[in-house]
Amino acid sequence: MNYKAKASELMKQMTLEEKASLLSGKDFWHLKGIDRLGLKSIMITDGPHGLRKQAGDSDHLGLNDSIPTTSFPTASATACSFDPELLNRMGQALGEKCVSEEVATILGPGVNIKRSPLCGRNFEYFSEDPYLAGEMAAALIQGIQSKNVGTSLKHYAVNNQEASRMTVDAQVDERALREIYLAGFEAAVTKAQPWTVMASYNKINGTYACANKYILTDILRKEWGFDGIVVSDWGAVNDRVEDVRAGMDLEMPGSNADSDNEVLAAVKNGSLSVTEIDLCAQRMIEFILKGQEVKPAPTNTNKEHNVLAREVATKSAVLLQNNDQVLPICPTSKVAVIGEMAKNPRYQGAGSSRINPAYLDNAYDALQASGVNITYTEGYSLSSKQVEQHKIEAARALARECDVAIVFAGLPDEYESEGFDRTTLSMPESHNKLIEAVAEVNPNTIVVLQLGAPIVMPWKDKVKGILLMYLAGQAGGAATADLLLGKINPSGKLAETFPAALADSSSNSYFPGNSKSVQYRESIYIGYRYYDTVKKAVTFPFGYGLSYTTFEYSNLVIEEVDPYLYRVKLDITNTGKESGAEIVQLYVHCNSSSIFRAEKELKGFAKIFLAAGETGTVEILLDKRSFAYYNTEAKDWCVEGGTYQLLAGASSADIRVSADVKLTGDGKEALLADTYKTLSDYQKPSAPLRISDQQFIQLLGYTPKPDAFGKPYTKDSTLGDIKDTLIGKVMLKVVKGALNKMLKTVDDPTMRLMVEKSALEMPLRSMKMAGGINNKRLDGLVALANGKVLKGIKNLL
């Protein structure tokens, strides 16, 4: 079907009211249809590592039950596979499930950059590197959409923290915006054309993402050629008229008829044109036509998808340490299995991505089924934060009697979740104490980690093996056993740096800002870009990961295909005794630059599987963007002339072979000379990173307005802002009562913490999601908060 032509035909038959009605949702998960024109009410719902379809009560925080489906490893894990083909197959499985459940679009993937290791939602994102994030997201999107099911690339953009996520103003310079925070979205859009892009909650340089024409129209549509719809994150809409003008097509969830009436009123008073509504309505009709199209029934089931989930988990795991080749374990060894996570795994994150798994295994059962001689003890309790000494002593006693001790540890749910950020990189003290106690009595101690983001490891040098599973999904137990026993050779590489300390992070002094704003003073210096530039030692570098075999790099050949287009080839030899896969990473370093740049940047990678003794050749293409920086004066991607090093390695810190290429530049770096000559904090960054007010403002290009706290309150003010006013105290009491009632049957401290924090940080306008509050009553509540009692009461009546 020619969707554009069909939509244009239907547009001619529609009233203005019908067009406006399509620009907001019918309910929490469904869009409005128009029966007389054959437009159905289609469903869009949560992902991204499984389908979260709620058959009963609806919410966007994962509180209510959803249908059983396959829970794949989260993005923090799958990014470590560096395997787009694997992500494509995972995407196909997600698409098949959507088809079987009559879901038109799954909300994901999330491609936000891991600015800080503290972000509570990092488990749902791919990487600190925009190139890797974009490649993996594009592959997942292509897989899902191959089943004629839509995706929603999220959260666009600069949404890198959970603290005050619905109102905070992310203040970021244009180079960092383009090179770091938008580049992953750009790659996913230009390579995969997701059906939808989800606009985030936050402001970007003073303007809400949903109303940011520069972000939504000028960049997304005009520069990148996006032809789908932009949908708001749930409850993100601030000003529906401004949003339509900016190019934000669909408000979710629906807010009664308020938004529709606002749009129609704006047309009548001349502040919004019919043409602007038509643009959004046309795109909405095209989207609905695609979404309602009948798809072939899928042949694969949850059982087949579970097999794939196991494969994804094994290929995504990262072997961090293997001293004295303690792994793989000998099947005849007497093995102590210690830690509750061995039986009660943490396999996914909390919040809107929480999946109801069709199956769920664990490492203890998988090891036992493999015939390993194992004995188990709990070591700690996941339901308690206390160090339970008697459990540690029992673990010591068991470990002392065994050949090998495997400790399962990590971050429990309440340590990282949607809705709040972490405050530390530490695991629970009960986990750390247990590992140290076991390592004291068993020289062959192995730690298996289940977590969604980096941690510090004070016990690292006391144990022989560390296997990082991240959040490995429903089949993570079997995958763990496969790797520990050597049935599968680990091949994953870290998609993010594990710093030695939280204070080492470049954003540490500026994250998460305050409740009104956050300054991205570190600019482009994120993750390994920063650590490598300032020569800061880390626990484990970006791109790092071990194998049960070894690889040699040789015969690097650079072929110039066209100006700025190079074909890079090199040979990889498996020099060990086991078959295995190696991930070759290609970084680019500019030898001499007049603008500040990171030491090196990932610009390509290739994964190759080799039998023992086998040699194979990998090929990676580099184009103009591989050498370019974003020039804020030219408003374009530009290339400096000079010599560039092409660095091929096993991680950002392990470069094996290199070669130089010489480029003729465009000379446009001269446009930045006056601005950059005084940016010493950026030209020669320090550790710890310190950026002066003056230099940040100069790079930012404007002086941020002072953060406004207190009166006058607005609909963007949060319940936390007004909690000391009379109406605020009343509302807080009502909200707490409602939360207690809602959470009465929820035996989950993480859910309770997430909901309570979200409630205090939610803007007053978001109350419309719950129903019963329209714009007039909202204005009344705001008036009361500002002490305007008569106006407030009048609007509430």
For 754-767, the pLDDT digits (tens) are 777 778 898 999 88
Closest residue by Cα to residue 477 from 325, 357, 332? 357
**Token pair belonging to 370:** 């493999």
Lowest pLDDT segment from 140-144, 241-245, 358-362, 773-777: 773-777
The owner of tokens 């490893």 is 73
Strand, coil or helix: what is 479?
helix
Of 378, 381, 402, 379, the closest CA to residue 392 belongs to 379
Collect contacts of 37-43 with beta carbons under 8 A, ≥24 apart.
37/10, 37/13, 39/10, 39/285, 39/288, 39/289, 39/292, 40/288, 40/292, 42/104, 42/105, 42/288, 42/291, 42/292, 43/102, 43/103, 43/104
Order of strands, edge to edge, in the sheet holding 654-663?
601-610, 580-590, 642-651, 654-663
Range in 395-409, 555-569, 696-710, 744-758 the model is least confident about: 744-758
Instruction: Please check the confidence at residue 58 and state whether its pLDDT lies above 80.
Output: no
* Token reading at 208: 């809400």
Is the confidence at residue 745, as pLDDT, over 70?
no
466, 545, 724 from 711: Cα distances, Å: 53, 52, 12
pLDDT tens, position by position, 92-150: 999 999 999 999 999 999 999 999 999 999 999 999 999 999 999 999 999 999 999 99
Only one residue has tokens 């710093």, namely: 499
Q: How confident is the model at residue 57 (pLDDT cuts 50, 70, 90)?
A: low
Tell me the two tokens of residue 330.
Answer: 């000998």
How do residues 149-162 score in pLDDT, each as one tens digit? 999 999 999 999 99
The residue from 83, 129, 173, 233 that is catalytic is 233
The pLDDT mean for the chain works out to: 95
Contacts of 184 (CB under 8 A, 6+ apart): 111, 112, 113, 126, 127, 130, 131, 133, 134, 137
- DSSP annotation of 216: I
Q: How many CB atoms lie within 10 A of CB 578?
A: 14
HSE (CB half, 13 Å, CA atoms) of 332? 0
Q: Measuring CA to CA, which residue among 440, 387, 393, 390 is closest to residue 409?
A: 387
pLDDT by residue (tens digit) across 579-591?
999 999 999 999 9
| pLDDT surpasses 60 at 795 | yes
| 233 classed as catalytic | yes
CB neighbourhood size of 565 (10 A): 13
Give the CB-side neighbour count of residue 270, counting CA atoms within 13 A: 0
Residue 317 or residue 776, greater confidence: 317
What distance in Å separates the CA atoms of residue 290 and residue 549, rounded to the nearest whole number? Answer: 48
pLDDT at 59: 55
First to last CA, the chain: 50
3-state class (DSSP) for residue 645: strand
pLDDT at 61 over 70: no
